[in-house]
Structure 1
């Protein structure tokens, strides 16, 4: 019977010391040039001492012109190689493996950046107030984005990362290519399920061709986007089967997007009570995944549920995200038997009866909770502890303050 404490050897040879991962959280700790600095090193040094077998970074963007949010770290070339190396050393000094999560926001670029023209497979805007209509990428521009992922992966290997995780979930650019709601193309990049998944497969192939055989290439994939007519579980299973035929080392299962944020804990109480939101789906794609290990993130809170998920074979790795904000040593607490349940901070916006008439309250709650997590990561990076008294209004003000400087800045030199 597999235990949480058992090591896991990925197909490429990278060994995870145990089956608990610190899943990606968007740290937004890049400096004014979107480069990593001492803050990200300090934060990951804390997590590295927390007993995790794997640390997955938050969004590392592959293009400075297109950010998910202000403060994203960007890897386009080797200009920040020394800082990236310090980052990986902090993880390795604690005994954890570390994957760099590579991403492009596509139409989910920073909503505060008014005047910025996002890009996407097709000109379909987000169903959120203030979202700009994206410009459709040309075939040459699509290939340029694929190349950016490959170049970023190459630099990450030079910096000492154990691998990369390609972000194909949560409504970002790769997901936009996969979804029939956001990919309306009729060329070689869209029109059929096979052509819609081509972008992801080309990124995987280009990355694998640039890195060594011992460097891990992982994918974070939505089980579904939970939108009518969108990317379904059937579509997702087909993508898993296609990925299993490539040189992929780990598939992390998640779900949702900015419009339907299932990944943020914006779920019904009955779903939260079941803990692992996407475990049923992971169980259903075991055959399609073949020998590729599966990680599941979202909802795990008790050691009993984590142990059962791994020992039953439903998944190979348990991912923890928001619990690692309140307890940077969450993995050690679970493995050492020092907790019966991990805590998270759940915030609900006020004036619900009024706001509910003009906005999706689940989406608002999810945004505020993500904003709270980001603020706490900044505190942790400064050596402080989380502020449990921070309320929803203060969080919204903080989000505007952090992103406001780009609100009226028009981005030039688009893809």
Structure 2
């Protein structure tokens, strides 16, 4: 029986001091060159003092030509090594371990970046207003992306991070290769479940070949994408079984994508009350995962639910995200018994009757809540406290301003 305060040993030898993970949230705190600066150091210094056994960074992109949103930090080479080193040190100084989450948006690149053409396994556009039809990656393009993940991982190890997490969830590029809805290829990269998972397996192998054995390698994987004809739990279990044959240290379970969000404030009240949205799935893949520890992120709010999930053996670690925005010491509060249930702040779009005629309100609420939390992270990064009174209109304006400004910036040649 495991408890929240127990350490967790990963196969690579990395030891987490406890079982509470600060899960990834996109910070959008990159400078004009998409490199980290003192703001990210300030933010992570606060989280590092919050009692978490592990901090997972938000999206770090592997290609400046393809961003999920303006402000994404990008690692293509060693140009920002001093800043990356300061980032990792801020976590270690507070007693936490840190994994850098590596990602490529694929077709889920910034929807407001007018004129940008994303890339994807196949030319299947995102089913959202303004989404451009992506260009299908060539074999050479696929090789380039795989190498980018490996290069970024090697730089992270040099900078002092304890490991990396490959983002294979929430509809980003790796997920697009896994799903039969977005991967229509008939070559060696698609056409069957085994070939659709090849991209992820090749990225895992390339990263592992470029880093030391003691550098942790985690994978964030969807339990499903919750779309008819898409990536199912059976598909996901097969991916877990394949990952169990590789040198993977941790599988973090999540779910959904931009078209069918499963978290972020848009979920039904019954789902929120249940807590731990993906715990049933985690229980079902225990055998497939073998010796690889499983972390579950999404919905955990009470110490009782976290302890029960660990005690039952359904998972080895619990991830929390949004509660850490308004309570940077959320883990310490739980571990020390000061807090029984963590709080989150959810907002909903106004004028729902009108907006409901032209857009998906569930998706809109999801985007608004993501943007609200991003706004709060920016306040924390400037040494300020969260603004709990920030409403949906102000949040929407900030979201449009932040994501739309990239369309006004001259861009270099896109790949």
Q: What range describes the TM-score normalised by the shorter chain of this pair?
A: over 0.9
Distance in 2 separating the partners of 1:402 and 1:269: 29
**Alpha-carbon offset, residue 357 of structure 1:** 1.3
* Paired residues for 1:360-375 under 5 Å: 360-375=360-375
Distance in 2 separating the partners of 1:197 and 1:409: 36
- Unaligned 5+ runs, structure 1: none
Equivalent residue number for residue 65 of structure 1: 65
> Is the contact made by 2:66 and 2:105 (CA closer than 8 Å) also made in structure 1?
yes
**What are the Cα deviations for residues 213-266 of structure 1, in whole angstroms up to 9, with x where unaligned?**
000000000000000000000000000000000000000000000111103242
**Alpha-carbon offset, residue 25 of structure 1:** 0.5
**What are the Cα deviations for residues 283-342 of structure 1, in whole angstroms up to 9, with x where unaligned?**
000000000000000000000000010111110010000000010000000000011210
* Paired residues for 1:279-290 under 5 Å: 279-290=279-290
TM-score of the pair, normalised by structure 1: 0.99
- Unaligned 5+ runs, structure 2: none
Equivalent position SS for 1:127: coil
Equivalent residue number for residue 139 of structure 1: 139
**Alpha-carbon offset, residue 268 of structure 1:** 1.6
Equivalent residue number for residue 52 of structure 2: 52
Equivalent position SS for 1:78: coil
> Is the contact made by 1:116 and 1:410 (CA closer than 8 Å) also made in structure 2?
no
Correspondence 1:240 to 2:240: yes
**Alpha-carbon offset, residue 377 of structure 1:** 0.1
Q: How many residue pairs align between the two structures?
A: 415
**Alpha-carbon offset, residue 409 of structure 1:** 4.4
Distance in 1 separating the partners of 2:265 and 2:181: 23
Q: Please give the root-mean-square deviation of Cα atoms over the aligned residues, in Å.
A: 0.8
> Is the contact made by 2:154 and 2:210 (CA closer than 8 Å) also made in structure 1?
yes
**Alpha-carbon offset, residue 412 of structure 1:** 4.2
Distance in 2 separating the partners of 1:304 and 1:343: 14
> Is the contact made by 1:257 and 1:263 (CA closer than 8 Å) also made in structure 2?
no
* Paired residues for 1:370-389 under 5 Å: 370-389=370-389
Equivalent position SS for 1:79: coil
* Paired residues for 1:18-97 under 5 Å: 18-97=18-97
> Is the contact made by 2:223 and 2:255 (CA closer than 8 Å) also made in structure 1?
yes
Correspondence 1:340 to 2:340: yes
Distance in 1 separating the partners of 2:391 and 2:199: 41
Distance 1:64 1:150, change over 3 A: same
Equivalent residue number for residue 190 of structure 1: 190
Equivalent position SS for 2:79: helix
Distance in 1 separating the partners of 2:147 and 2:204: 11
